[in-house]
């Protein structure tokens, strides 16, 4: 068998099976949940004032009063008809053209059989606050004439539910006609596009200035932007609210009647959250320009301004567009910011989360439908980006790096001022948290009194979340990276027919799946034996690996393309088998270029919020979940601030090490 002889083919098949099971199937599961509806239900309330239908709680069935207050007729397409009339305050008679069957399993689960379908009957009865007796239970008895007599509690709501399932697009119809859902969708689109626009204005112009002019401290600016790009996602919202909320430190201090809470605040905070990615990609695009392209324009008489808009920006466009796309995606799928600073603002990720995880308004079908819509919007953005890149799919291979233009003193001051201002805004949240972590917190608000108690409390209450975060970060990075390396190798070097393209598409899918949606999909998929993973450390690790796989595969592919195939073949010709070639030659060579990628994966994992908040269960509760919850519940933020500082150390120390030492031993490749 070829499969057994070719280790890589075996790996490809195993990787494909794993990816399909953990990426594709949960999404299909979500999709199917969005097109499956239950068999419908109807409700009525039976009080002293009479028997009334409750149309808000009826679906598929029509209930109409025949004798107002005394009798109802229930119908549904397909010939179903049921008559219900009151006998006394707690008794109803149910009759139909045919005989009605009843079953009672003794545990209070009562059901009726009628017209080929089964109806589960439940009652909900009010109970006084200090009442010591329970409502009367529900019971049904068969009458000789085929009707059923139903006894229930006083003043009860009775719900008849058909547990059958059917294929339906009604969830989608509800989605596009519902006030809340349409608003949430429009809000999401508006926020993501306008935040990206603001971030693009800041990010692209700063990138241009820093890339093309000889600005002092360029490395520092780029490093700070990199730091900002891996900030914990909820940090900004909380800090800005603390400063500029109606009761914020600054608004109170200045006595102004202003609040950042609302859609404008969400846009503002998200713009600062996503600007670094636009800046970094635009910066490298501008740095990647070939000097001769610009010189050619200049030799033909273009002044710098003309060359900028006719040559430099168009040539850098693929990089800028990629940055814009990533920013839009981040903005679209951000859960933390709108949840914290939006107050009553509804956006898709929050809608999905709350309709999946809430006590009574729980609506998995709505969550699934919202998820599908969100993934569809993301996919449209991706398609737009791909179409743009395909049309203008050139890559500028820089043969001679462009020289930075010198700046006059005034120019230098302006450029530094601009960069300083941008970085100041980007780091306002970090500074806020640092300062407030040393402040005393009372009833959810900071007081101007220095204290270390937040840190001592953090140490006392245990560092378990830090360990959970670290273990997930390290294990997730290792697995995502090993898989990423292997898959990239298969995609770049092996290119198996059918398998490789399918693997490639599957592995890239999480690119368009927001964290909330991914989490819900995983719960739907892995909540039952034998694949019961919910509530374990593994499901978090799995989510993190999946979410980072597109990134690690792309990074490894890039690294692999730098490794000339002859380097592999040299080892093969000397007698090394494929796996050995990979382990002793290819992987070490890729690794050198890919450590940065691994670090970023680690940083993504330890700051991941949107899938964490859906998936975590104790005792596996990562720091992001702890901090986020504390910002919402009435807990004091002090300890959370201390934890955020710890999280930032977990993030920024490795980042600094990689930036400082990662590039020092550059390996020339063949």
Partner 1 sequence: MSRYLALAAAAMGAAMLVPATASAADLVVYTSHGETTSSPILDAFKQAHPDINVTIVRGGTGEVVERLRAEAGNPTADVLWGGPTQTFEENAALFQAYESATDADMVTVDPNHIWHPYTVLLQPIIVSTKRVSADDMPKTQDDLVTAKWKELGSLIIPDPAKSGTGYTILSALSGDKGWEFVGNLAKDARIAPGSDDAFNAVRDGEAAVGWINEDLGAKWKAEGLPIEVIYPSDAVTGQVDAQAIVAGAPHLDEAKAFIDFLGSKASHEVVRDATIRRSARADVTPPTVLPELGSLNIVSPVDPRPVVVARFQEFLSK
Partner 2 sequence: MPDILTNPGRPQGCEVAIESVSKAYGPLTVLRDVTMTIQPGEFFTLLGPSGCGKTTLLRAIAGFHPINSGKIAFDGKDVSRLAPWDRNIGFVFQNYALWPNKTIFDNVAYGLKLRKVPKADIAKRVRNALQQVQLKNVEDRYPSEMSGGMQQRIAMARALVIDPPLLLLDEPMSNLDARLRVSLRQELRDLQQRIGVTAIYVTHDQEEALELSDRIAVMHGGVVEQLSRPEDIYARPQTRFVAEFVGDANFLEGRVAEGRFHLEDGRSLQLAEPGEAGPATLFIRPERLRLVEAGQGQLDATVSDIRYVGRSWVHKLALGEALHVWAEAPVKLNIGETFGLGFEAATLLRAA
Q: Which residue ranges make up the site for partner 2 (CB under 8 A)? A: 564, 566-567, 569-578, 580, 584-585, 588-589, 592, 667-670
**Is there binding between residue 544 and partner 1 (CB under 8 A)?**
no
**Is there binding between residue 445 and partner 1 (CB under 8 A)?**
yes
Partner whose binding site includes residue 450, from partner 2, partner 1, none (CB under 5 to 8 Å by kind):
none
**Is there binding between residue 617 and partner 1 (CB under 8 A)?**
yes
Cα separation, 531 vs 524, in Å, equals: 11
Cα separation, 628 vs 613, in Å, equals: 9
The residue assigned the tokens 């993504």 is 604
**Is there binding between residue 1 and partner 1 (CB under 8 A)?**
no
Are 624 and 232 spatial neighbours (Cβ–Cβ below 8 Å)? Answer: yes
Partner whose binding site includes residue 576, from partner 1, partner 2, none (CB under 5 to 8 Å by kind):
partner 2
Cα–Cα distances (Å) from 184 to 169, 237, 344, 359, in that order, read: 20, 19, 11, 20
If the CB atoms of residues 294 and 598 are measured against partner 2, the closer one turns out to be 598
| Angle between helix 409-436 and 235-244 (nearest 10) | 90
Cα separation, 311 vs 623, in Å, equals: 46
Partner whose binding site includes residue 36, from partner 1, partner 2, none (CB under 5 to 8 Å by kind):
none
Cα separation, 85 vs 64, in Å, equals: 12
Cα separation, 497 vs 489, in Å, equals: 14
Cα separation, 249 vs 244, in Å, equals: 7
Dihedrals phi, psi of 38, to nearest 5 degrees:
-85, 180
Helix/strand number for the chain, H first, E second: 27, 16
Contacts to partner 1 from residues 55-94, by CB under 8 A: 56-57
If the CB atoms of residues 553 and 589 are measured against partner 2, the closer one turns out to be 589
Cα separation, 290 vs 297, in Å, equals: 12
Shortest reach from residue 57's CB to partner 1, in Å: 5
If the CB atoms of residues 33 and 589 are measured against partner 2, the closer one turns out to be 589
The residue assigned the tokens 């001769």 is 292
Q: Residue from 12, 630, 643, 644 that binds partner 1 (CB under 8 A)?
A: 630
Partner whose binding site includes residue 88, from partner 2, partner 1, none (CB under 5 to 8 Å by kind):
none
Cα separation, 221 vs 230, in Å, equals: 15
Contacts to partner 1 from residues 252-291, by CB under 8 A: 259, 261
Q: Residue from 31, 54, 263, 302 that binds partner 1 (CB under 8 A)?
A: 54
**Is there binding between residue 360 and partner 1 (CB under 8 A)?**
yes
Partner whose binding site includes residue 444, from partner 2, partner 1, none (CB under 5 to 8 Å by kind):
partner 1
From the list 81-89, 300-308, 551-559, 627-635, the region that binds partner 1 by CB under 8 A is 627-635
Partner whose binding site includes residue 572, from partner 2, partner 1, none (CB under 5 to 8 Å by kind):
partner 2
**Is there binding between residue 105 and partner 1 (CB under 8 A)?**
no
- How many CB atoms are located within 10 Å of the residue 475 CB? 17
**Is there binding between residue 440 and partner 1 (CB under 8 A)?**
no
Dihedrals phi, psi of 615, to nearest 5 degrees:
-100, -25
Binding site for partner 1 (CB under 8 A): 7, 10, 43, 45, 54, 56-57, 124-134, 155, 157, 159, 178-180, 245-248, 259, 261, 339, 343-344, 350, 354, 356-362, 442-445, 523, 527, 532, 534-538, 579, 617-621, 629-630, 632-636
């Amino acid at each position: 068998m070829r499969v057994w002889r070719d280790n890589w083919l075996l790996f490809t098949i195993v990787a494909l099976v794993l990816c399909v099971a953990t990426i594709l199937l949960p999404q299909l599961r979500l999709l199917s949940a969005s097109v499956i509806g239950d068999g419908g239900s109807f409700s009525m309330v039976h009080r002293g004032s009479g028997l009334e239908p409750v149309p808000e709680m009826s679906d598929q069935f029509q209930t109409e009063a025949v004798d107002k207050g005394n009798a109802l007729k229930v119908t549904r397409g397909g010939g179903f008809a049921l008559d219900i009339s009151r006998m006394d305050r707690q008794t109803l008679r149910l009759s139909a053209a045919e005989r009605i069957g009843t079953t009672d399993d003794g545990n209070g689960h009562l059901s009726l059989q009628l017209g080929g379908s089964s109806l589960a009957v439940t009652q909900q009865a009010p109970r006084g606050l200090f009442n010591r007796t329970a409502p009367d239970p529900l019971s049904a008895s068969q009458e000789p004439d085929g009707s059923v007599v139903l006894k229930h509690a006083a003043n009860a709501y009775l719900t008849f539910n058909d547990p059958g399932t059917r294929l339906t697009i009604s969830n989608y119809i509800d989605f596009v006609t519902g006030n809340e859902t349409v608003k949430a969708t429009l809000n999401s689109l508006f926020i993501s596009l306008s935040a990206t626009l603001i971030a693009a204005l800041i990010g692209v112009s700063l990138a241009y200035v820093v890339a093309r002019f000889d600005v002092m401290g360029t490395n520092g600016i780029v490093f700070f932007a990199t730091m900002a790009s891996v900030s914990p996602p909820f940090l900004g919202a909380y800090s800005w609210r603390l400063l500029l909320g109606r009761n914020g430190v600054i608004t109170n201090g200045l006595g102004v009647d202003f609040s950042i809470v609302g859609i404008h605040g969400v846009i503002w905070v998200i713009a600062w959250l996503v600007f670094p990615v636009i800046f970094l990609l635009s910066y490298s695009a501008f740095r990647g320009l070939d000097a001769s392209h610009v010189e050619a324009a200049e030799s033909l008489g273009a002044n710098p301004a003309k060359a900028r808009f006719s040559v430099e920006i168009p040539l850098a466009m693929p990089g800028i567009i990629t940055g814009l796309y990533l920013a839009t995606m981040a903005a679209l799928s951000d859960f933390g910011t709108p949840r914290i600073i939006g107050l009553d603002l509804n956006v898709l990720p929050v809608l999905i989360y709350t309709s999946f995880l809430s006590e009574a308004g729980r609506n998995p079908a709505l969550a699934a439908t919202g998820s599908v819509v969100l993934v569809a919007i993301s996919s449209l953005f991706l398609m737009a980006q791909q179409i743009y890149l395909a049309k203008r799919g050139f890559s500028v291979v820089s043969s001679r790096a462009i020289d930075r233009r010198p700046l006059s003193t005034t120019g230098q001051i302006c450029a530094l001022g601009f960069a300083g201002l941008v970085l100041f805004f980007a780091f306002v949240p970090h500074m806020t948290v640092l300062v407030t972590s040393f402040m005393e917190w009372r009833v959810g608000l900071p007081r101007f009194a220095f204290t270390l108690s937040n840190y001592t409390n953090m140490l006392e209450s245990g560092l378990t979340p830090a360990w959970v975060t670290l273990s997930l970060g390290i294990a997730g990075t290792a697995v995502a990276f090993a898989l990423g390396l292997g898959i990239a190798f298969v995609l770049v070097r092996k290119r198996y027919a059918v398998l490789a393209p399918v693997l490639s598409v599957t592995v890239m899918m999480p690119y368009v799946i927001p964290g909330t949606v991914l989490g819900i999909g995983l719960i739907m998929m892995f909540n039952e034996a034998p694949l019961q993973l919910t509530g374990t450390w593994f499901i978090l690790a799995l989510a993190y690996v999946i979410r980072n796989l597109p990134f690690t595969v792309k990074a490894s592919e890039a690294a692999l393309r730098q490794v000339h195939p002859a380097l592999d073949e040299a080892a093969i010709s000397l007698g090394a088998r494929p796996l050995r070639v990979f382990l002793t030659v290819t992987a070490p060579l890729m690794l050198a270029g890919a450590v940065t990628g691994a670090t970023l994966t680690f940083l993504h994992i330890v700051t991941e919020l949107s899938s964490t908040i859906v998936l975590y269960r104790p005792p596996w509760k990562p720091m992001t979940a702890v901090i986020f919850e504390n910002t919402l519940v009435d807990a004091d933020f002090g300890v959370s601030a201390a934890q955020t500082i710890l999280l930032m150390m977990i993030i920024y120390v490795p980042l600094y090490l990689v930036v400082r030492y990662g590039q020092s031993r550059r390996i020339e490749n063949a």
